[in-house]
Amino acid sequence: MSVSNSSVIEVATFLLIGIPGLEHVHIWLSIPICLVYFVAITGNCTILFLIKTETSLHEPMYYFLSILAFSDLGLSISSLPTMLRIFLFNTTEISPDACFAQEFFIHGFSAMESSVLFIMSIDHFIAVYNPLRYTSILTGSRVFKAGLIFATLSIAVVLPFPFILKRLEFCKKSLLSHSYCLHQDVMKVACSDNRINMIYGFFVAVLSLLYLMCISVSYILIFKIVLGITSHKGRLKFFNTCISHICAVFIFYVPIVTLVALHRFAKNISPVIGVIIADIFLLAPPLMNPIVYSVKSQQIRNLIQTKLCDIRHWWEIPASMKAWVTSLYLNTGRH
């Protein structure tokens, strides 16, 4: 069958969507979206800058936090072009190659974030289970190796995605379901056999679920140890060290689990809800993680306050200059 008589054609572009039914207010929605991206990128860059420049933050927990901030920064930058094009300029077209590249980076940084959250749960478990040997177990070299191994694993896991999508043939229908490209979304519009894509996508989803299960087991063990502490003040101290990470886990995994539940059990639900939750999955972790860690970590909070005070003092007019301007004004007034 020739290509001209077939429904299978070489798709020149995919079409992304913003929020269905609200296209007329996309320009207004772009304002909070731009603000979210600005705060997310600024916040994560600030975290990375502080951890790099301040020797007091050269500890395993903050090394892992820097990897988390890097993942969040990558997520923001990966989705920024298409989100802003849709909501600012109402431009929904994206080429297949650009779409495949975007989904690779989005899935890659998402996998990196889930692996970092898992490593951080192990970090908290070691700190609670054996606090006296914590620094000897988690040395700087081991932290670096663990981060490198899991970052490489994350990239290796999602690396086949663009290639197994590239082999598919796509129908005339090329309308995707989100404001950015995802593997499971792109493969649904394919006309050719996509069983390999479905199987491999399921494998990656199971791997992410396995990370969540391991995090849950880590915290069950942590809570069991902490509840065995007789001192109420001691229990609160240990819980306080874990609350930031627990918030990060909830912020990352709740939208994912909600999306899976909607696709599985609520097939007749409005597509707007799915689109909004998918956008929350991409926007919430990069926005909230720097805020949560800045609020809960006293060291980071104090450093940010110090930097802000330095900036404010830098902009303030010196007292000597104020006195000179005042005397000049008075002398001018006398004459």
**68 three-state secondary structure:** helix
Return the pLDDT at 192.
78
Task: Give 239-268 pLDDT, tens digit per residue.
Answer: 777 888 888 899 999 888 887 777 667 667
pLDDT level of residue 331 (50, 70, 90 thresholds): low
What pLDDT score does 39 carry? 92
- Percent of the chain at pLDDT exceeding 90: 18
For position 132, what pLDDT does the model report?
79
Mean pLDDT of the chain: 82
Dump pLDDT digits (tens) for 80-112: 888 988 888 888 888 888 889 999 999 999 999
Give the whole-angstrom CA distance, residue 109 versus residue 62.
19
Residue 257 lies in a domain: yes
Alpha helices in the chain, H assignment, sequence order: 26-53, 60-89, 96-129, 134-137, 140-158, 160-166, 183-187, 195-227, 232-265, 271-296, 298-315, 319-334
Confidence band, pLDDT 50/70/90 cuts, at residue 27: confident
* Residue 185 domain flag: yes
**What is the share, in percent, of the chain residues with pLDDT greater than 70?**
86
For the record, the structure tokens of 323 come out as 């006195």
* Highest mean predicted confidence (pLDDT) among 18-27, 38-47, 56-65: 38-47
315 occurs within a structural domain: no
Q: Is the pLDDT of residue 324 over 60?
A: no
* Domain CATH code at residue 99: 1.20.1070.10
pLDDT 10s digits, 135-168: 888 887 888 888 888 888 888 999 999 898 888 8
- Please say if the pLDDT value at position 319 is more than 70: no
**Would you state the pLDDT for residue 217?**
92
Given a cut of 50, is residue 183 above it in pLDDT? yes
Query: Is residue 3 a part of any domain in this protein?
Result: no
Which pLDDT score, from 0 to 100, does residue 6 have?
Answer: 44
Instruction: State residue 73's pLDDT score.
Output: 93
CB distance 30 to 84 below 8 Å: yes
pLDDT digits (tens, 9 = 90+) for 2-23: 344 444 456 668 888 888 877 7
Tens digits of residue pLDDT in 191-212 = 877 888 888 888 888 888 899 8
* pLDDT band with cut points at 50, 70 and 90 for residue 232: confident
**Cα distance between residue 20 and residue 272, in whole Å:** 6
Q: Does a structural domain hold residue 262?
A: yes
> What is the domain extent for residue 161?
10-296
Of 227, 278, 294, 270, which is closest to residue 49 (Cα–Cα)?
A: 294
Residue 318 predicted with pLDDT over 60: no
The total number of structural domains in the chain stands at: 1
pTM equals 0.84
* CB distance 283 to 33 below 8 Å: yes
What does the radius of gyration of the chain's CA atoms come to, in whole angstroms? 25
Q: Does 322 map to a domain?
A: no
Residue 226 lies in a domain: yes
Backbone angles phi, psi at 8, to 5 degrees: -90, 115
Is 334 contained in some domain? no
